[in-house]
Amino acid sequence: MKKAYIPFYRTPITPRQVAAVAKTLKSGWITTGPICHELESRLAEYIGAKHAIGVNSCTAGLHLALIAAGIGPGDEVITTPFTFVSSAEVIVHSGATPVFADIDPNTFNLDPKSVAAQITSKTKAILPVHIAGLPCDLHAIEELAREHNLKIVHDAAHAIGAEYKGRKIGSTKDITSFSFYATKNITSGEGGLITTSNGKWADKIRCLCLHGMDRQAWKRYRKSGSWYYEVKELGFKYNLPDLNAALGLAQFEDFDKMQKARARVAHWYDEMLADVEEVTVPPRDDHSVHAWHIYIIRLNRERLSIDRDDVIQLLTRAGVGCSVHFIPIFRQPYYRKRYGLKVKNYPMADALYKRVITLPFYPGLKKAEVVEVVRRLKKILAGNRRR
């Protein structure tokens, strides 16, 4: 009998969410409008930020955040190499130079000591990434920012709902970008959200995200609007349409329930992998609330006769969808060549990369499926223990 395939991810879409999107389609208004602004308002209140701006991706949000914060040519921005490429490409697109610090292997996040060692007179910002939904050591990063007069632009693609010492990620005085991509904790299909408590930054972002037009330009086709608009800056097409925002808003109604489900799935994995000597479960922090975007295990390779890639291949053959988060940026040909990046300069990030596997993880994952994932993984590991 063929084993049931357990996919890496299933997007949780309910009939009510489908109805919300259909209602928006029937309304005749599907581009940026009242639904987007309602989503902004609801999430600003939830996160505890003064301002929230919907955008068409977290990448767009990070790009706008850097521009609003005054980052440009001649500047350096310190970030992690252990992330998806968008964290670096937005720095390049802003005209600045990405500088990579190594990570803390115990958290997967930026090591503040490595960040400190990379600061120069050209450094203007730090771009921390809250990997898998676990917040970075914000106390240490904020101390460095104060000491050196640096901006902080948070890549919180994984971290909506996460908290650090009682503060929700996105509620600080700095600037944060979240993702609503298909696999994220809230999805709008494609989309994102910027939060900040800086009114000047928020006004600039609202202008830039829609061709540089004044902030009320979206109303020009409504009864209350005017045909007249002004382009005040060179902008971008980064706005979040109502059609996408409708799904995001309906997902937000179920957010607490989905977050509890994610935490429950993580707990099941923790319990079932606790006695597996070849595996270390994901890190967590007593100071933080984990958003549990993904579940990343580390292989204890010294106990195995095969490497991480072999384990993934065998899991795939066994019907388990899995992935790797992330292929470090210093291993990507474009960045390696352009910035002369060398693997040896990031020993912690590279050592971690060779060990990590992201297992199937989503709110609708059943306990029986987690049992089956772990059973198949254990069988592979037991058959390939180092003698």
Number of CB atoms found within 10 A of residue 271's CB: 12
Q: Is 109 helix (H, G, I), strand (E, B) or coil?
A: coil
pLDDT digits (tens, 9 = 90+) for 122-137: 999 999 999 999 999 9
User: Look-up: residue for tokens 């395939």?
Assistant: 5
Strands (E), the chain: 51-55, 76-79, 97-100, 123-127, 151-156, 163-164, 167-168, 175-179, 192-196, 279-280, 288-289, 295-299, 356-359
- From the candidates 124, 151, 184, 204, give the one annotated as an active-site residue: 184
Which pLDDT does position 214 carry in this prediction?
A: 78
- pTM check: above 0.85: yes
Q: Comparing C-alpha atoms, which of 320, 323, 305, 304 is closest to residue 371? A: 320
For residue 384, the SS3 value is: coil
The residue among 87, 43, 93, 90 whose CA lies nearest residue 101 is: 87
pLDDT one-digit tens code per residue, 8-29: 999 999 999 999 999 999 999 9
How far, in Å, CA of 70 to CA of 208, rounded?
Answer: 13
pLDDT digits (tens, 9 = 90+) for 183-198: 999 999 999 999 999 9
The DSSP-derived string for 51-88 is EEEEES-HHHHHHHHHHHTT--TT-EEEE-SSS-THHH
Residues in a beta bridge with 110: 103
| Token digits of residue 65 | 């955040």
Q: For the segment 78-125, what is each residue's pLDDT rounded down to a tens digit? A: 999 999 999 999 999 999 999 999 999 999 999 999 999 999 999 999
The predicted structure's pLDDT at residue 24: 98
Straight-line distance from the first to the last Cα atom of the chain, in angstroms, rounded to the nearest whole number: 32
Torsion angle (degrees, nearest 10) of CA 298, 304, 308, 311: -110
pLDDT at residue 216, as a whole number: 66
Q: How far apart are CA 326 and CA 180, in angstroms?
A: 19
Here the tokens at position 244 are 């996408």
In this prediction, residues 51-60 reach a mean pLDDT of 98
Given the structure tokens 């995001």, which residue do they identify?
Answer: 248
Helix axes 255-273, 367-382, angle to 10 degrees: 30
Sorted by where each starts, the structural domains of the chain and their CATH numbers stand as: 15-253 (3.40.640.10), 255-382 (3.90.1150.10)
Which is nearest to 53 in space by CA: 34, 71, 67, 39? 39
Whether 2 shows a pLDDT value over 70: the answer reads no
Three-class secondary structure of residue 158 per DSSP:
coil
The yes-or-no answer on residue 237 being catalytic is no
**Residue 364, by phi and psi: left (phi above 0), alpha (psi -120 to 50) or beta?**
alpha
Separation between Cα atoms, residue 163 and residue 269, nearest integer Å:
22
Convert the pLDDT of each residue in 152-168 to its tens digit: 999 999 999 999 999 99
State the Cα–Cα distance between residues 237 and 215, nearest whole angstrom.
13
CA distance 288 to 309: 31
Region 55-76: mean pLDDT is 98
- Which pLDDT does position 1 carry in this prediction? 47
* Nearest residue to 297 via CA among 377, 228, 204, 217: 377
Q: How far apart are CA 319 and CA 259, in angstroms?
A: 26
Whether the Cβ atoms of residue 116 and residue 144 lie closer than 8 Å to each other: yes
pLDDT in tens, 206-262: 999 999 997 666 666 666 677 788 899 999 999 999 999 999 999 999 999 999 999
The answer to whether the CB of 214 falls within 8 A of the CB of 207 is yes
pLDDT score of 219:
64
Task: Please state whether beta strands 356-359 and 295-299 pair in parallel, antiparallel, or not at all (unpaired).
Answer: antiparallel
**Rounded to whole angstroms, how far apart are CA atoms 143 and 136?**
13
- Look up residue 346 and give its amino acid: Y
Question: How long a stretch of residues is the chain?
Answer: 387
| DSSP code per residue over 229-257 | --B-S---B-BPPHHHHHHHHHHHHTHHH
* Residues 288-340 pLDDT 10s: 999 999 999 999 999 999 999 999 999 999 999 999 999 999 999 999 999 99
Phi/psi region, residue 375 (left: phi>0; alpha: psi -120 to 50; beta: rest), is alpha
Q: Whole-angstrom Cα distance, residue 245 to residue 284?
A: 31
